[in-house]
A and B are shown apart, each in its own frame.
Chain A
Amino acid sequence: MTPEPFLGEVDRTPVTHHILSVLVENKAGVLARIAGLFARRGFNIYSLAVAPSEGEARFSRVTVVVDAESAPLEQIVGQLNKLINVVAITDLAPKDALERELLLATVVTDGKNRGRILGLVEMFNASIVDVDAHSLTLMLAGTPATCDELEKAMESFAEVEIHRTGRVALPRLTKTEEN
């Protein structure tokens, strides 16, 4: 059994993950078709991000992080390709992918923790996007690993709500290691 995703593990990314960038027709039910395919074929999804595509409005881009351990990647891509609404699939191995994710976190503040929060914001190069008398919301756009680290650091606060988007990715232009 592969572990359930999203069960509180900080490092949510399996070693064997692949990022599939799937261009789909913007039609009703297309997400259900993709999710249903993964469910019935026993493929694991680790994250999923959907947005209208950069080009024509009739397409959307779905970025799926899949566990290539749950099934051979060739099978996952082959079955996905058979969905009529799937137009194109780009497969990115982690080493070739530039991955980014957005994290939003709202923390209830008090006199004591405000300094620590601001310290984390500075350390992670995050930003504060909303604030009131009792709480503040910060935002981080970073690699999934950086988001993992910030999330772990935030868990020490008593009252915190964290939302993450799931990653999007593009092929790396250079093969050098990035920080």
Chain B
Amino acid sequence: MNLTGAQALIKSLEQEGVETIFGLPGGAILPVYDPIRDSTIRHVLVRHEQGAGHMAEGYALATGKPGVAIVTSGPGATNIVTSIANAYMDSTPLVVITGQVASASIGTDAFQECDITGITMGITKHNFLITNAQEIPRVVAAAFHIATTGRPGPVLIDFPKDIAQTMMEWWYPESIEELDLPGYKPQIVVDQRSIEDAVALIAQAERPVLYVGGGTLKSNATRQLLAFAERTKMPVVTTLMARGAFPDSHLQHLGMPGMHGTYTAVTAIQRSDLLISLGARFDDRVTGKISAFAAGAKIIHVDIDPAEFNKVKPATVTVRSDIATALEAFEVAKATPKNLDPWWAMLNGWREKYPLVYAPTDDPALLRPQEIIEAIAASAKPGTIVSSGVGQHQMWTSQFWKFDEPRTWINSGGAGTMGFGVPAAIGAKAARPDVDVWCIDGDGCFQMTAQEIVTATSEGFPIKVAILNNAYLGMVRQWQEMFYEERFSEVFLDADLPDYVKWAESMGAVGLRARTIEEMHDAIRQANAIHDRSVVIDFRTPASEKVFPMVAAGASNDDIMVHPLQEVPS
């Protein structure tokens, strides 16, 4: 069967089981858009290429399947760079196809030409420039294989226009060997001795902590984690990327560690004698000052990516494995720590003394952001997916939404990409039309990518957006208040500009506004009753509200600042 390169590309995507792609056409990718009309694949037409990337990420995070985006060359390609970088930082499986100028024009500064493989070299797991139409199936199959195996990540395929128009004889690789990847060996046999060493360390532990990272979700290890944690009685902390990997409602869960983690999670790590890292990477937002991080702990570092070992913090034992396999091996070996009762007495003491709290507003009728999140969470059906942008609202959501299921929390962790929330929520809704998707957003973030609500309306992916509108770039404002002597510099946004209600309505969504507790409950009730359109609620919140606890950047986690309400008068 002879196909054009464009047809071969689309057929290859079908072969990989792709059901939905997010994209926006343009000159160089034009030939590829022709066979999309005849394909079983649903194409979602976005309003900005960054949105396509974040939607693909939301899709991937909600399902575990790779997200796919397709854009044109030049500015189309550079517009999706932020999403690719975001996916790279959070190890999200993504396949991004960019149009490229015709092969003969590459290197001539042709119209809408850019060296996107060069630009994305440092932010993709791998990228390809297709030079031969016959190779299209191999490259597509290799891209999906690379994106989804080992430590997942984004893969980019740059697709010159003439290749799309060249005829090829259809074929498709039937085995990994045909992918021609002699340097890529993600399948590994776990070194049994590393398991034995880990088990021996666990046996000596009196104050262990399971430090659960995003890799635990990537390897679908939540069942194994629950079994291991319950048998061993070890306390669990889940990082920002792992929220939902272990139920928040579980008594052994201490919450999130790090800069805005719970006092108990942060302090448990600091006082631990054994830290068991499961697919986490000792990010600086978790460790604080590295020399003071878990200073008395031995470390078992479990990761599929050996380059993470000893990168930030030297490990006592390294276990190269996916998390599910390692936890199963720990179970088989019946890894058991010492009696943890004294440890739990300490942990429970901290938990009682320093729960997550927030202060009442001056006027009790007015809204507090944490209260809004709790109210939405309380009204949400089990399994509701929550996305967020980046900043205060993201930290409050991670703190105050109680996650009990994996893949229900969709956020931008490593890259901290403002504007992630709305398009990621749309991608998640596209993947899971059966569940409600809330985006808890900030007013600053919302303004960055709100135009994708047009996409949500036109494509029929109704989402619910809660803007915690404090009229500021809130997290920057918080730092300026705390560390720059309240010298507020370029952080004021204006709560009424834009008019979020009108803006929402102009994009085909329902726009609501809430300034009081009564209005809040009413708006949430209305939002939950609407299923055929997106809803945007403009919640007015006080600008002075800050995220606590907090560890200042570069400070030791021992110097965690609790909420002012909990400070002991000295």
A residues with a Cβ closer than 8 A to B are 24-25, 28-29, 32-33, 36-37, 40, 72, 74-75, 78-79, 81-88
Give every chain B residue within 8 A of A84 (Cβ-Cβ): 125-126, 146, 181, 183-184
Judge whether B183 and A75 touch: CB under 8 Å: no
- Complex Cα–Cα for A159 and B305 (A): 52
- Complex Cα–Cα for A25 and B126 (A): 13
- Complex Cα–Cα for A28 and B311 (A): 29
| Further contacts, 17 of them, CB under 8 A, given A24-B183, A33-B121 | A28-B129, A29-B129, A37-B122, A40-B122, A74-B310, A75-B311, A78-B307, A78-B309, A81-B307, A82-B125, A82-B305, A82-B307, A83-B183, A84-B125, A84-B126, A86-B183, A87-B182
A-B contact pairs, 5 of them (CB 8 A): A36-B121, A37-B122, A78-B307, A78-B309, A82-B305
Residue from the list B181, B184, B309 in contact with A74, Cβ < 8 A: B309
- B117 within 8 Å of A (CB atoms): yes
Count A/B pairs, Cβ under 8 Å: 45
Interface residues in B416-453 (C-beta closer than 8 Å to A):
none
- Complex Cα–Cα for A112 and B126 (A): 58
Give every chain B residue within 8 A of A36 (Cβ-Cβ): 121-122
Judge whether B121 and A25 touch: CB under 8 Å: no
Q: Closest Cβ of chain A: how far from B282's Cβ, in Å? A: 13
Give every chain B residue within 8 A of A88 (Cβ-Cβ): 183
- Complex Cα–Cα for A82 and B307 (A): 8
B residues with a Cβ closer than 8 A to A are 117-118, 121-122, 125-126, 129, 131, 146, 181-184, 305-307, 309-311
Residue from the list B121, B146, B182, B311 in contact with A32, Cβ < 8 A: B121
Give every chain A residue within 8 A of B125 (Cβ-Cβ): 82, 84
Q: Closest Cβ of chain A: how far from B186's Cβ, in Å? A: 10
Judge whether A79 and B310 touch: CB under 8 Å: no
Considering only CB atoms, which chain B residue lies closest to A80 in the complex? B307
Give every chain B residue within 8 A of A78 (Cβ-Cβ): 306-307, 309, 311
- Complex Cα–Cα for A29 and B222 (A): 39
Considering only CB atoms, which chain A residue lies closest to B305 in the complex? A82
Judge whether A32 and B118 touch: CB under 8 Å: yes
Judge whether A79 and B307 touch: CB under 8 Å: yes
Give every chain B residue within 8 A of A82 (Cβ-Cβ): 125, 305, 307
Judge whether A75 and B121 touch: CB under 8 Å: no
- Complex Cα–Cα for A5 and B396 (A): 48
Give every chain A residue within 8 A of B311 (Cβ-Cβ): 75, 78
Considering only CB atoms, which chain A residue lies closest to B127 in the complex? A29
- Complex Cα–Cα for A85 and B184 (A): 8
Considering only CB atoms, which chain B residue lies closest to A77 in the complex? B307
Give every chain A residue within 8 A of B117 (Cβ-Cβ): 29
Considering only CB atoms, which chain B residue lies closest to A30 in the complex? B183
- Complex Cα–Cα for A25 and B121 (A): 16
Considering only CB atoms, which chain A residue lies closest to B153 in the complex? A82
Residue from the list A25, A74, A79 in contact with B182, Cβ < 8 A: A25
Nearest 9 A/B pairs, CB to CB: A78-B307, A87-B183, A84-B126, A86-B183, A87-B182, A40-B122, A84-B184, A79-B307, A36-B121
Among B118, B121, B125, B182, which residue has the most Cβ atoms of chain A within 10 A? B182
Q: Closest Cβ of chain B: how far from A36's Cβ, in Å? A: 5
Give every chain A residue within 8 A of B122 (Cβ-Cβ): 36-37, 40
Give every chain A residue within 8 A of B181 (Cβ-Cβ): 84
Q: Closest Cβ of chain B: how far from A90's Cβ, in Å? A: 14
Residue from the list B118, B129, B307 in contact with A75, Cβ < 8 A: B307
